Amino acid sequence: MTVFRVRGFEIHKGLLNIAAQHAVLEVLRGVVAKAPLFQPDTPYGKKMSVRMSAAGSYGWFSDRTGYRYVTTHPDGQRWPPIPVEVLAIWNQLTGLARQPECCLINYYDTDARMGLHQDKDEADFQWPVVSVSLGDEGLFRIGNPTRGGKTESVWLQSGDVVVMGGAARLTYHGVDRIRAGSSTLLPKGGRINLTLRVVE
């Protein structure tokens, strides 16, 4: 495993070996069986290109009234608990006693994107966000604390984990494209991104 930093983003290349990736994928299947993937609307009335679900006390949600955390899936059920296999990644990399209250699950097909954005719907930005990549490679773009300016990009591969904390916590970031067929982890292809967040 190699660890390097880009603009304060701590990138752990290959943190999860193939066995660990399959173990996480298996428990995610259980989560999504209880809380199926859905495609939220943006506040501007357009569907997001990613499909998502969540585990934990909260899930992230978007519609015409804005972005926010919610305690229930759109079908009205509470979100499933965050699997211990996923929490172990947080514990390994952060060493924090504080545990995340949301594991957001984003599924990217070949055409999905995520524009440059900040993760800023949480109550306290002192806690990091831990991001796990599974499946096809995604071109991760890192910007600046404010919009505009030069950006840098890095391909994230299956098993890579990124920690966004400190000065990088509110840096703009996004996913420009997916490299189809670059991984065989997901039988139907695509990329899964997990982000572990302290919400309260």
Helices vs. strands in the chain: H and E counts, helices first: 2, 13
Strands 66-70 and 152-156: unpaired
Q: In which domain, by residue range, is 40 found?
A: 2-197
- Domains: count for the chain: 1
Give pLDDT tens digits for 26-56: 999 999 999 999 999 988 888 999 999 999 9
Q: In the prediction, which pLDDT does 1 show? A: 81
Give pLDDT tens digits for 97-148: 999 999 999 999 999 999 999 999 999 999 999 999 999 999 999 999 999 9
CA distance linking residue 178 with residue 5, whole number of Å: 22
CA distance linking residue 129 with residue 96, whole number of Å: 12
Task: Identify the residue whose tokens are 């572990």.
Answer: 196
The CATH number assigned to the domain holding 117 equals 2.60.120.590
Report the percent of the chain where pLDDT is more than 70: 100
Residue burial 117-128, b: 16+ Cβ < 10 Å; e: rest:
eebebbeeeebb
Judge whether residue 170 has pLDDT over 90. Answer: yes
pTM score, whole prediction: 0.95
CA distance linking residue 54 with residue 31, whole number of Å: 8
Name the E strands within 18-172.
Answer: 51-56, 59-63, 66-70, 102-108, 114-117, 129-135, 137-142, 152-156, 161-164
